[in-house]
């Protein structure tokens, strides 16, 4: 079924054996080994994430202590105030959607996402149908194929984001979050205010915040790969090492020295195909 067991990880992980038809979508299956610690920190990522729980129980807790359980949708960059609280051994399928794809899948709800939103709160009976159908399938590859078809159908029938907004998002990704928003606005022929408003309403975050998130994501993975903070800061377009330090603390509550040990980051290369990088000297 594509599992890649590794005794250093908290979960057994399965990955699709075939390419996903919708660009900007990745998937992975997770089976709890019974050792997921309570209060697991979720690291913010520049994607909207569907956590479809197919067995057992997963609960989310925010900074206020409010706890909800079931399947969830995590908004773009959610995680800095969230904890996953395992209350029972679980099995889940996670889908990461670029915000451009997420707009097609979730529609207007994307701009309203903050933190973890229960799946059934967004889609009601459709949410139950999805999770029940996936639970009935006997292998991860069948589940991945079903979700692939489901997403492709939703995207085909959906209203898309403005071409200028999609282009701006691609430029932010290509520039690893270092592109200036004023320059993006000028290149699409919009005012900064117009780009800011359209980007936030359609993708769920203002462009500056989205760029900051993309830059952080590259930097934190470079740190996990063994890069020293000074070198990672220089390569990532930060003003200095202190600037990197502040961003990592703001997104995770951890320092660059401690964030590298987070279990949620340890699975990224295996589950999501994040390429390993050679440590800096």
Give residue 135's Cα distance to chain centre.
Answer: 23
Q: How confident is the model over 203-254, as pLDDT tens digits?
A: 888 999 999 999 999 999 999 999 999 999 999 999 999 999 999 999 988 9
Measured distance CA(12)–CA(4) in Å, rounded: 7
Residue 14 near residue 272, CB atoms below 8 Å: no
- E-state strands within the chain: 11-14, 25-32, 40-41, 48-61, 67-69, 72-74, 83-97, 116-118
Measured distance CA(31)–CA(34) in Å, rounded: 9
Residue 51 near residue 74, CB atoms below 8 Å: yes
Domain that holds residue 72: 11-156
* Domain boundary, last residue among 91, 123, 156: 156
CATH number at residue 210: 1.10.10.60
Closest by CA position to 264, among listed 18, 20, 42 = 42
Same domain for 95 and 185, yes or no, is: no
Same domain for 194 and 79, yes or no, is: no
Same domain for 151 and 244, yes or no, is: no
In a domain, 43, yes or no: yes
3-state secondary structure of 178: coil
First to last CA, the chain: 38
CATH number at residue 55: 2.60.120.10
Residue 176 near residue 214, CB atoms below 8 Å: yes
Residue 73 near residue 128, CB atoms below 8 Å: no
* Domain boundary, last residue among 117, 138, 156: 156
pLDDT, averaged across the chain: 85
Three-point CA angle 112, 118, 121, nearest 5°: 70
Same domain for 138 and 230, yes or no, is: no
Q: Which two tokens stand for residue 31?
A: 């089976």
pTM of the predicted model as reported, rounded to 2 decimal places: 0.87
* Domain boundary, last residue among 137, 156, 175: 156
Same domain for 141 and 190, yes or no, is: no
In a domain, 79, yes or no: yes
Per-residue confidence band for 3, with pLDDT thresholds at 50, 70 and 90: very low
Same domain for 120 and 60, yes or no, is: yes
In a domain, 88, yes or no: yes
Measured distance CA(269)–CA(281) in Å, rounded: 21
Measured distance CA(146)–CA(239) in Å, rounded: 45
| Helix or strand holding residue 52 (H, E) | strand 48-61
Same domain for 167 and 237, yes or no, is: yes
Number of domains in the chain: 2
In a domain, 93, yes or no: yes
Same domain for 143 and 168, yes or no, is: no
Q: How confident is the model over 173-184, as pLDDT tens digits?
A: 999 999 999 999
The DSSP bridge partners found for residue 84 are 40, 60
Per-residue confidence band for 144, with pLDDT thresholds at 50, 70 and 90: very high
In a domain, 99, yes or no: yes
**Does 4 score more than 50 pLDDT?**
no
* Burial zone of 278 (CB within 10 Å; 0-12 exposed, 13-18 middle, 19+ buried): exposed
Dihedral angle of Cα 21, 12, 47, 140, to the nearest 10 degrees? 30
In a domain, 4, yes or no: no
In a domain, 34, yes or no: yes
In a domain, 267, yes or no: yes
Q: How confident is the model over 66-114, as pLDDT tens digits?
A: 777 788 888 887 765 556 666 667 899 999 999 999 988 887 666 666 6
- Which residues, other chains included, contact 101 with Cβ-Cβ below 8 Å and sequence gap of 6+? 22, 23, 24, 25, 151, 155
């Amino acid at each position: 079924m594509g599992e890649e067991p590794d005794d250093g990880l908290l979960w057994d992980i399965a990955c699709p054996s075939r390419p996903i038809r919708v660009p900007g979508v990745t998937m992975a299956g997770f089976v709890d080994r019974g050792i997921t610690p309570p209060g697991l920190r979720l690291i913010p990522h520049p994607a909207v994430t569907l956590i479809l729980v197919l067995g057992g129980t997963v609960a989310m807790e925010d900074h206020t202590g409010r706890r909800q359980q079931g399947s969830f949708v995590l908004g773009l960059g959610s995680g800095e105030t969230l904890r996953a609280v395992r209350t029972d051994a679980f099995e889940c399928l996670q889908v990461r959607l670029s915000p451009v794809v997420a707009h097609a899948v979730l529609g207007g709800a994307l701009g309203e996402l903050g933190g973890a939103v229960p799946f059934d709160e967004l889609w009601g009976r459709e949410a139950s149908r999805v999770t029940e159908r996936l639970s009935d399938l006997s292998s991860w590859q069948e589940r991945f194929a079903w979700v692939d078809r489901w997403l492709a159908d939703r995207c085909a029938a959906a209203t898309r984001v403005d071409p200028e907004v999609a282009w701006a998002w691609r430029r932010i990704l290509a520039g690893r979050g270092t592109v200036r928003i004023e320059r993006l606005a000028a290149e699409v022929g919009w005012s900064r205010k117009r780009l800011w408003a359209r980007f936030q309403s359609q993708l769920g975050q203002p462009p500056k915040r989205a760029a900051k998130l993309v830059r952080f994501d590259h930097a934190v993975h470079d740190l996990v790969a063994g890069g020293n903070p000074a070198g990672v800061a220089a390569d990532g377009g930060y003003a200095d090492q202190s600037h990197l330090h502040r961003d990592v603390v703001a997104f995770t509550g951890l320092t660059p020295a401690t964030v590298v040990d987070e279990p949620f980051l340890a699975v990224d290369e295996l589950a999501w195909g994040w390429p390993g990088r050679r440590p800096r000297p």
